Structure 1
Amino acid sequence: MIEAETVLIASGFGLPTGDLRTTLKLFGVDPQPVYRRPGTRVLGLAGSDRIAVADFADVLMQVERLGFDTASATLCEALRPSLQAKAFITNAEVSVFWHDRERHRCDPVLIGTGPNLVSGRQVTALRTATGYRVEFYQGSDGQPTDLVATAPRWRPRRRRVGLAA
C-alpha cells in the first residue's frame, strides 16, 4: 500500500490536500485506513489512509485515457508478475493485468455536465502528444457541456450479421 496523497501530489497532479479523497472517489478509489500491526503491549493505534498500488495504477490508466502521458505502462509491467501468482484479483488488478492489451484501444471517454450524450456544438478538437483526439463541446449559453477523448487505436466494433433466431 502507498500513501495516496504523497504519490498524487508528487506525480504533479497538484491536487489540494482537502480534495484528494473526493478526487480519488471520482476514479472509483476509496482510501482505507492502514495500521502498523500492534505488538503485545500496544494500547492504541495510529493509522493513515492509503490506497493499493493496483488502485493507483488504475487511476493513472484512467487519466491516460483522457489523453495525458502517464507512467502507467511501467507501473503495470512491474505489478504483473505478482498478479500472475494470485488466484483471485480485484477490478483494478484486472485492469493492470490487461493493460498492454487494452492500452490506447479503449472505448472513448465521455465527461458531460448534463443527462444527454454529447450535447451542444463542438467548439474545438485537438490531438494530444499521446495521440488521443479530444473534442470539447459547449451549449447555446457558451458554457462547456461535454468532453470526449478517443484513443488513437480505438476502432468501432463491427456488428455481427447473422441469422435472426
Structure 2
Amino acid sequence: MVFAFILVGGFLAWLNQQARSQQVEVVEEVVEEDGLADATVVATAVFGANPMAQSGELIRVNSLLVQSLVGSQAFFVEMEGQSGPYLVKLGPAVVADSVVVPNGSTIAVIGFVQQMTDSVADAWVASGGIGEGDRILAIFADSFLEASDIVVAGGESGAEPQG
C-alpha cells in the first residue's frame, strides 16, 4: 500500500513537471492599417480656426456633422470655428472601399489637409467625383480634408461599406 502511494505521488509529480513545460504564451498582434492609428487628434475648434496649420500632418477630427453631399465623393461638414461648412473629399482608398457617408450623420475623419485650387476641382470633375455643377461649390473652399478613413458614429471605420 505504501508502494501505491509513492507510485501515485511520483506520477502526479511527473504530470506537474510536464504541465509546466507545456505552458503556451498568448501574443496579441495589433495591426495598424496604413498607419492610421498614428493620426493626431485635433479638436474641431482648433482645426476650424486654422485648417492649413495642420497641413502635411495625418490628423483625426471627431464629431463632425455631415451637412450636405457634394457629388459622390465629397461633402460638407459643420465645423466649429468656420463661418460656413468645411469640405471633405473621400480619398482613393475610401472610394475603393465603396464607403457611403449618410447626410446628417456624425463622423470622424482621418486624413490630410490639402489646399483647394482650380486644377484640383477640375481633376475631381474629370474623375467623376463631383459633377460640373458642384465644381463651383468646391472652389469656394480655401482648403479641404482628404479622408484616408472615415468612422461613422456608432459604426465601423471606412474599411467596411456604410449604407
Q: Could you state the TM-score of these two structures normalised by the residue count of structure 1?
A: 0.21
Q: Which has the larger radius of gyration?
A: 2
- Of structures 1 and 2, the one scoring higher in RCO (CA 8 A, sep 6+) is 2
Greater share of residues in strand: 2
